């Protein structure tokens, strides 16, 4: 995913990324993950264009 564990936690906490927990394991729907990955990639491209890192 190229996303840090803390970023995933933040996305779960603020309701951006839906998840399920079974036996202390966290599961995500593939379509939700794909949506988030595209959003993160867009933000990285935008930041790179502006000369920043995300």
pLDDT tens for 9-50 read 999 999 989 999 999 999 999 999 999 888 888 888 888 777
pLDDT higher than 70, residue 52: no
Predicted TM-score (pTM) of this structure: 0.67
Helix H or strand E encompassing 21 = strand 20-22
Cα distance between residue 54 and residue 48, in whole Å: 8
């Amino acid at each position: 995913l190229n996303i840090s564990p803390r970023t995933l936690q933040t996305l779960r906490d603020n309701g951006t990324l839906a998840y399920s927990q079974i036996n202390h394991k966290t599961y995500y729907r593939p379509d939700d993950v794909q949506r988030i990955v595209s959003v993160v990639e867009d933000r990285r491209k935008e930041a790179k264009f502006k000369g920043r890192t995300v």
